[in-house]
Amino acid sequence: MMTTRRRWRIGGMDCGSCVGKIETAMVRLDPVQSVTVSMAAETMTLELHDDSGPVLDDITDKIRALGFQATVMVDGQATMPPSDDEASSRRLPWPESLDEILYAALCLAVGGIVAFVLPDYAALVMGIAALLAALPVMKVAVNLARAGSVFSIELLMVVAVIGAVAIGESLEAGMVVLLFAIGESLEGIAAGRARSGVKSLMKLAPETARRVTATGFEDISPAQLRIDDIVEIRPGERIPADGVLVRGAADIDNSHLTGESVPVACETGSDVFAGAIVTDRPVQMRVLRASGQTMLDRVIALVEQSEQHKAPVERFVARFAKIYTPIIMALAALTILVPPILFGQDWNDWIYRGLALLLIGCPCALVISTPAAVTSALARATRIGLLIKGGATLEAIGAVRVMAFDKTGTLTEGRPALVGVLVLDGGDEDALLARTAALETVTSHPLATAIVAAARDRNLTLPDIADARTLAGAGVEGRLDGVMYQAGSALRLGITPDDSLAQWLRLQEDSGATAIVVLRDGVPVGGLALRDQARPDAAEALAHLRALGIAPVMLTGDAQRVAARLAGDLGMEYRAGLLPEDKLNALIALRDDPATPGMVAMVGDGINDAPALKAADVGIAMGGGTDIALEAADAVAVRARLSDVVGLVRLSRRTRAIIRQNIGLAIGLKAVFLVTSITGVTGLWLAVMADTGATVLVTLNSLRLLIGLRR
């Protein structure tokens, strides 16, 4: 059966139980094949075998009947709101958010005035006022029960309010409703704050793009851009797609993806990303990834998918909450019935205590304890350039005790750099480097690029060359001032080095460098050594990981001598000469080793790392890596900095600690007030305040994750 995917914008969700209510209601509908609700992104995605207008309207109405706002989205955008007449027919019969508080307060105020005027009917009037104030909650409870969520928090409230009115505690019943409305509003505000960092990402894409055409410029939607289109971006504008600069240079603010507060200098050939801001000069770029495939789109997609990968503790709490509420209701019933029936106690007194127990037993704080922390952590992660694919990954990272690293492009810069110059003819290093760089401008080989870059870093002027050409498999040659120069492999150029040059070449080889010789009219005049350098933050990052109890190990396909040198410099174990399959097997061996005390993570960036990234307990990709590595990984360090991997571990462990604190707060407060409610020390008012207070405390504690981590 063919299905179509439709999305809704959902407002009013403030905890995991809200998500559960919507999912429970949707899976009971015949047209719905699957449902995914994201509290962080405030969206619902349904797979439907019928997406006709009446079906979509019916789904929207059912969600609104549960107490949430719902709007169908078309092409990623919410549709226009209904007309006034249509809206009035669908509008909930009570105000939302703050208006709910005002509605409850108004009912109680009017009831209080009438009771003051008619004191003989005060109890009846306040009872009616309390029930009227509770009407919105009653309607939601009924709709939730019809949708399959029978044991809801709203049902507990309704039972408690009706019971309190029945035993003559009308004023307390009304105050319970008012306090409940205040608590719901506070939860909504706190939840909105927690996901604000995530939602702000969705507003970064510009509304228009300025495409360069043969006749000038054309303003179009970024969704209309295609690969290889040329786009102009002016100062103050956001980049509409991922691409590469082809004209101009400018400082570009990438803080939305990298967290860097200072704009980065970019020139022709630099990669740029959708959502970044051009700060000072106009530039033109060629589109490499169009709408739907950009790094920003990936971030948003990961956020929306993250709640499908719930942390294990979150899944446990959700299952526990489903049986917890019926248990609390049964316990409250026993509290009401057993003392009067078996021991002849006062009915009103024990009904009151049972109702208080019912209210304090609301599981909202417990249910929100984990998702509030996870949502806050994911929001923080996106701000500091970390993408995490869900709560399960976030929790797993903190349990890692062995972390395997690819070498090239992960522990190292991934490109060669000049590390040594040998001069044999009595000249100086700069002169030899300038001549060699002039020769190497005729090729785009990585070694040649590194030599030219080294000369530019020293501000050297390159001499003019003539008859320059590449020597297949050997190097390059050309004439400088009428003299023939060659640069390349000593073996391939067919020379026999003298003792001093041979010794230098062996030394470079032993150190893991690649050496080339420079010839003048066939006679060696010097040599250059190039080597892929460790990232500037590699040693410090690995030291921090060891301090956190994580053992680093390098898995590389490079030669033994190259791996040994880098591993020695960084102080880590290594496995060398590994093919992709060997690297995967080495990772599996680490993961399955009984001596390994915890989970094993893999950090890499290349196509050959993808199998190991997938097989690890946690795969972490460096942001500059290949697409397949980014897809295979569970988390991405967007800035491609090893220090961010350390930050990822710290964020995970901090999140795990706050989740434990939240659960302790929720259960601890409930345990105390359950006892005081049964013993009659606390009543209905304090029961509601304790429940609301626990929920707000848990949420505020989770918001601490939005504060910066120590680097």
- Give pLDDT tens digits for 51-106: 888 889 999 999 988 888 899 986 544 443 333 333 333 333 343 556 778 888 99
- Per residue in 439-480, pLDDT tens? 999 887 778 889 999 999 999 999 998 988 888 667 899 999
pLDDT (0 to 100) of residue 234: 92
Q: Looking at residue 597, what is its pLDDT?
A: 74
What CATH number did the domain enclosing 508 receive? 3.40.1110.10
**Do 419 and 529 belong to one domain?**
yes
Last-in-domain residue among 592, 618, 644: 644
Kindly state whether residues 556 and 637 are assigned to the same domain. Answer: yes
For residue 690, tell me if it sits in a domain: no
SS (H, E, C) 249-285: CEEEECHHHHCCCCCEEECCCCEECCCCEECCCCEEE
Q: What is the pLDDT of residues 232-249, one digit of tens each?
A: 999 889 999 999 999 998
For residues 439 and 581, state if they share a domain: no
pLDDT value, residue 86 = 36
Query: Do both 503 and 549 map to the same domain?
Result: no
Helices (H), 227-311: 255-258, 295-306
pLDDT above 90 (res 195): no
Number of domains in the chain: 4
Q: Is the pLDDT higher at 692 or at 424?
A: 424
Kindly state whether residues 453 and 522 are assigned to the same domain: yes
Position with higher pLDDT, 541 vs 281: 541
More confident residue, 627 or 514: 514
Q: Residue 675 pLDDT more than 60?
A: yes
- Give the domain CATH number at 252: 2.70.150.10
Within a domain: 202 = no
The verdict on 405 and 510 lying in the same domain is no
Specify the range with the lowest mean pLDDT, choosing from 18-32, 63-77, 194-208, 388-402: 194-208
| Cα-based torsion angle of the residue sequence 364, 365, 367, 368 in order, rounded to the nearest 10 degrees | 110
Residue 52 maps to which CATH number?
Answer: 3.30.70.100
pLDDT at residue 711 is higher than 50: no
Q: Whole-angstrom Cα distance, residue 402 to residue 405?
A: 10
- For residue 494, report the phi and psi dihedrals to the nearest 5 degrees: 75, 30
Tell me the mean pLDDT in the region 285-310. 70
Do residues 367 and 567 make contact, with C-beta atoms less than 8 angstroms apart?
Answer: no
Q: Which two tokens stand for residue 679?
A: 């013993």
Average pLDDT, the chain: 82
Q: What span, in angstroms and rounded, lies between the C-alpha atoms of 680 and 359?
A: 14
pLDDT digits (tens, 9 = 90+) for 129-149: 999 999 988 888 888 888 877
E strands present in 556-628: 573-575, 599-604, 618-622
Which residue, 617, 644, 671, sits at the end of a domain? 644
Q: What residues are labeled active site? A: 406
Nearest-angstrom CA–CA distance, 485 and 462: 14
* Domain assignment present for 358: no
| Residue 543 and residue 404 share a domain | yes
| Confidence check: pLDDT of 309 > 60 | no
Please report whether residue 620 resides in a domain. Answer: yes
- Angstrom distance (rounded) from CA 654 to CA 425: 60
Indicate if the pLDDT at residue 647 is higher than 60.
yes
Q: How far is CA 341 from CA 85, 344, 350, 466, in A?
A: 55, 6, 11, 109
365 pLDDT above the threshold of 80 = no
What DSSP designation does 239 have? P
Q: Please tell me whether residues 407 and 550 are part of one structural domain.
A: yes
Cβ of 193: how many Cβ atoms within 10 Å? Answer: 16
Mention every residue, 6+ apart, whose C-beta is less than 8 A from residue 625. 409, 604, 605, 606, 609, 640
Whether residue 641 contacts residue 535, with contact meaning beta carbons closer than 8 Å, is answered with yes
* Residue 26 counted as domain residue: yes
- Is a pLDDT exceeding 80 seen at residue 599? yes
Rounded to an integer, the average pLDDT of 276-296 is: 85
Note the pLDDT of residue 316.
64
Task: Please indicate, yes or no, whether residues 71 and 214 belong to a single structural domain of this protein.
Answer: no
Does one domain contain both 475 and 608? no
- At 160, the pLDDT band (50, 70, 90 cuts) reads confident
- For residue 463, give its domain range: 413-534
Same domain? For 408 and 555 the reply is: yes
Domain edge (last residue) among 615, 644, 673: 644
Residue 612 above 50 pLDDT?
yes
User: 553 pLDDT exceeds 90?
Assistant: yes
Q: What CATH number has the domain bearing residue 620?
A: 3.40.50.1000
Same-domain status, 508 and 423: yes
Does residue 461 fall inside a structural domain? yes
β-pairing, 573-575 with 551-555?
parallel
> Is 20 domain-assigned?
yes
**Measured on CA atoms in the order 220, 225, 231, 235, is the torsion positive or negative?**
positive
- Beta-carbon contacts of residue 203 (< 8 Å; ≥ 6 apart): none
Kindly tell me if the per-residue pLDDT of 184 is higher than 50.
yes
Cα distance between residue 126 and residue 169, in whole Å = 9
214-225: average pLDDT: 90
Rounded to whole angstroms, the Cα distance separating 530 from 420 reads: 7
Which of these, 363, 542, 516, lies nearest to 440 by C-alpha position?
Answer: 516
Q: Indicate the residue type of 151.
A: F
Q: Is the pLDDT of residue 382 over 60?
A: yes
Phi, psi of 116 (to 5 degrees): -70, -40
In this predicted structure, what is the pLDDT of residue 696? 78
Question: What number is the average pLDDT over the span 168-184?
Answer: 77
Does residue 185 form part of some domain? no
